[in-house]
Amino acid sequence: MRLARRIWAFLTSPDIYWRLFSLLLAVILWLLAAGDGSLGEAERTVTLAVEVQNLPADLVLVEEPEPVQVRVRGLSPLLNRGESSISASINLRGAQAGTETYNVEVSGPLGIQILSVTPGWVSVYTEELVEAVFPVTLALLGVERAEFAAGLTPRPEVVTLKGARSVVDEVDHVVAYVNVGGGLGAGNSFPVRALDAQGRGILAVEVDPPQITVELKASESEETREE
C-alpha cells in the first residue's frame, strides 16, 4: 500500500505530471499526423508478391507464384506505417519436382489484423536442377582474315550450364561474341550466351564461368622463326 502511494505521489508531482502529459500529447499528435488526421480503425486491401522459402537445393522454380490480395484492418496510423511490412510466403520444405499447391502464410506488424487472403493457396511448378557441359564457340566481330579467326582459342574451352531440366534441354550451343577490333590485350573478357537451335538467347540458365578470355595461337612460321 505504501509503495502504491509513493508511485502515485511520484506520478502526480507537478514536474513528472507535465512531462507525462507532454509525452502523451506528442504521441497523439504523431498518431493523428500518421493517420491523416484520423485515429479510427480502417480496412484496406493490399497486393503482395509471394515469397518462396526453403526451396530444396536440387529443385528450381520455373515460374514465380501469382500475387495475392490481402485484406487488413487496424488503426489508420498503424496501417499507414506498417503496410509495407506485411509479407506473404509459401514454404517449399520437402517439395518434389512437379506442380504442388501450398498454403499462403501472411504476417504483419503488431496492431494490424489479417482479415483474409485471396487466394489462400497457390500452385507452383518446380523442376529438377541439372547441369550440362558445353563447348564454347567463338563468334568473331571485326575480323576479315579467316586464318586469324582459326588461331583463336577460348579459355576455358567449355562452360557449365545449370538450370531447370526443360530449359537446359533447349540449349543447342554456347557462344562468346568476341570483338577483336579493339585488340586482344591481357585481361579482356567476353560474355558467354546460351542459344537454342534457332539462335535465340536462353536467359533462364546459369553459365559458369559467365565470361571467357581468348588466346591467339602462334602461326607455324612464327614458331619456326622462334626455333
Residue with the bigger pLDDT between 85 and 10: it is 85
Which of 29-43, 138-152, 174-188 reaches the highest mean pLDDT?
Answer: 174-188
CA 181 – CA 153 distance, rounded (Å) = 16
Asked if residues 79 and 72 have their Cβ atoms less than 8 Å apart, the reply is: yes
On the 0-12 / 13-18 / 19+ scale of CB atoms within 10 A, 174 is buried
Closest by Cα among 135, 188, 178, 193 to 159: 135
Residue with the bigger pLDDT between 141 and 203: it is 203
Name the pLDDT band for 27 (thresholds 50, 70, 90): low
Asked if residues 163 and 205 have their Cβ atoms less than 8 Å apart, the reply is: yes
Q: Which three three-digit cell numbers place residue 201?
A: 538467347
Please report which helix (H) or strand (E) contains residue 14, including its range. helix 14-34
Q: Give the dihedral of Cα atoms 104, 164, 199, 135; nearest 10 deg.
A: 150
Asked if residues 136 and 189 have their Cβ atoms less than 8 Å apart, the reply is: no
pLDDT over 60 at 34, yes or no: no
Q: Name 130's Cβ contacts closer than 8 Å, sequence gap at least 6.
A: 162, 163, 164, 165, 168
Instruction: Give residue 157's identity as a one-letter amino acid code.
Output: E
Asked if residues 137 and 173 have their Cβ atoms less than 8 Å apart, the reply is: yes
Share of the chain above pLDDT 90, in %: 49
pLDDT score at 220: 43
pLDDT score at 222: 47
First to last CA, the chain: 107
Scan for cell 500475387, then name that residue: 67
Rounded to 5°, the CA angle 148-153-158 comes to 150
CA 172 – CA 158 distance, rounded (Å) = 14
Give the full edge-to-edge strand order of the sheet including 68-75. Answer: 41-48, 68-75, 113-118
Specify the length of the chain in residues. Answer: 227
pLDDT over 60 at 63, yes or no: yes
pLDDT score at 195: 95
Asked if residues 211 and 189 have their Cβ atoms less than 8 Å apart, the reply is: yes
pLDDT over 60 at 224, yes or no: no
- 137 forms beta bridges with 175
